[in-house]
Structure 1
Amino acid sequence: MAALLLACLVVMLFDGREIRGVSVWVKPAKFAGSLALWCWSLALAWSALAEDWREGRAARAIVAGTLACGLFEVGWITLRAMLGEPSHFARDALGAAAYGLMGLAALLLCLCAAGFGALVAARGDAAMPRLLRGGIALGFLVAGLGGAATGFAISANLGPYVGAPPTDAGAWPPFFWSRDGGDLRVAHFVAVHAMQALPLLAWALLRLRAPAAAGWLAAGTLGWVGLAGAAFALASAGRAALP
């Protein structure tokens, strides 16, 4: 995924084609970067599982599902970029059919993340500090469930734009969220990145030896969910998250 991200950044320097006002290579670059971070986070958090569960059927299913769904998503997005066609909300017959499969793959990808969080909560490694296990479990649960919910909202809305023209032109890179109205992608981004934010918060609390650390982790989790909810409410009201 990191190699694909680099390739997309290089190719867009020479390919002037655009979709919705930005380079055709922006979307595969964003998805490749996101999934590189997703898989890295999953690999880094893997030691939170009890050792005898790391090679179990449930764990193997999570790895296989993450790889299969991630590769399918990015592969199709990259192919459509090569053809100069949109991968999401496409109007041609093949694109529309593949979009349905992409929706299923995205849902399964999120459920794999939530499943990993639940597995850590139920079968965590006792050798790892409880607070850090809790941060990992909460982070992946929030990312999986929140990512699925916000992704469904984008699909049901037939796009991420609310009260905004369906274009990313003039938006701030690298995300290109709309500056002219609501954009549901902001809430999706915040929700998914709970898998990094909450484990990092737990790690920081441990390093600082903070008193009532479990309470701070719970507050941080509620705060992150609230941030995603606020971004969703802002977008639903047709208001831009960035000036």
Structure 2
Amino acid sequence: MRALIAELHRRQNLLAWAGWVAVGCLAFSLAAMAVDGRQIYGVSVWTKPAKFAASFIPWFWTLAWAWGVLAPAARRGALAGLVLWGTLGAAAFEQGWITWRAAAGLPSHFASDPFGQVMFALMGLGATVLVALAALLGLLVLVRGDTVQPRGWRLAVGLGLVVAGVLGGVTGYAIAGTGSPLVGGSGTPGFPPFYWSRDGGDLRVAHFLAVHAMQAVPGFWLLTRATSWPVAAVTAAWAAFAVAALRLAQAGMPLSP
């Protein structure tokens, strides 16, 4: 484990440290949840910052690991710098605002107050930046990957990031455009830790599947050491699964009864 952590920092130190900051934010939110009984929409006010912090941990560390798949010259290039600093800036804004609103006992998403609505729109811009930069990193890996590393591995990392970025944006905009992650149903939260709806459509399921393509596709290659065609097939299947979950939610149907 120590060797794995050291390798993560060697590949991209700032993104690795950002993951540890997200771990701290998660621990803080969980501790606050234990002592603060306030709720929003039937769950703790600290659920949203905890969920975002938990999602940022694999996000940062996956990008840091993918950094090592770039050719050495590409890691020092302007586009890689844009990915790095854009990701850190957008994530800091998202997590900071969500945590601040939780401390105030107010919703960060779909807020009713004017300032909250403006900030929610800016959060949408921040989320767009995050997924677009993930897709850009994926394209960099595909075009300027380290040729010393196996082709199937470069393809898996690159395609996983591209699918996560593109479909993460599509599903995110579906949530924003609907005005709620829920379509039909009672609105009663489901089981933790995700609280997905069990009696109606929930667009967050598709969003979750979309963004985690960046781990699922490389994970497939690590398990199988497959050639390019199986990697491409699994990527297409994962993307289709996310799109199917989106269509299911838009029809008002839960993922499971």
- Range into which the TM-score falls when normalised by the shorter chain: over 0.9
Alignment counterpart, residue 192 of structure 2, candidates 173, 187, 195: 173
Question: Residue 42 of structure 1 corresponds to which residue in structure 2?
Answer: 63
Partner-residue secondary structure (3-state), 2:76: coil
Question: Residue 185 of structure 2 corresponds to which residue in structure 1?
Answer: 164
Q: Distance in 1 between matches of 2:36 and 2:188?
A: 19
Deviations 1:67-126 (A, max 9, x none): 011110011000000011000110101100101100000001000000000111110001
1:199 is the counterpart of 2:218:
yes
Question: Residue 227 of structure 1 corresponds to which residue in structure 2?
Answer: 241
Deviation at 1:202, TM superposition (A): 1.6
Query: Unaligned regions of 5+ residues in structure 2, if any?
Result: 1-21
Matches within 5 A, 1:17-166: 17-166=38-187
Question: Residue 184 of structure 1 corresponds to which residue in structure 2?
Answer: 203
Higher helix fraction (1 or 2): 2
Amino acid of the structure 2 residue aligned with 1:19: I
Deviations 1:4-54 (A, max 9, x none): 101111111111111111011111000001011100000011111000110
Partner-residue secondary structure (3-state), 2:106: coil
Question: Residue 9 of structure 2 corresponds to which residue in structure 1?
Answer: none
The answer to whether the Cα contact below 8 Å between 2:185 and 2:201 also exists between their aligned partners in 1 is: yes
Tell me the C-alpha RMSD between the 2 structures.
Answer: 1.0
Alignment counterpart, residue 16 of structure 1, candidates 33, 37, 44: 37
Q: Distance in 1 between matches of 2:197 and 2:131?
A: 24
Choose 215-224 or 192-201, whichever is displaced more: 215-224
Partner-residue secondary structure (3-state), 2:35: coil
Matches within 5 A, 1:212-223: 213-223=227-237
Deviation at 1:164, TM superposition (A): 2.3
Q: Distance in 2 between matches of 1:82 and 1:100?
A: 20
Deviation at 1:167, TM superposition (A): 4.4
Q: Distance in 2 between matches of 1:27 and 1:128?
A: 38
Aligned residues: 236
Query: Unaligned regions of 5+ residues in structure 1, if any?
Result: none
Q: Distance in 2 between matches of 1:80 and 1:104?
A: 18
Q: Distance in 2 between matches of 1:141 and 1:24?
A: 33
Deviation at 1:162, TM superposition (A): 0.4
Partner-residue secondary structure (3-state), 1:48: coil
Partner-residue secondary structure (3-state), 1:13: helix
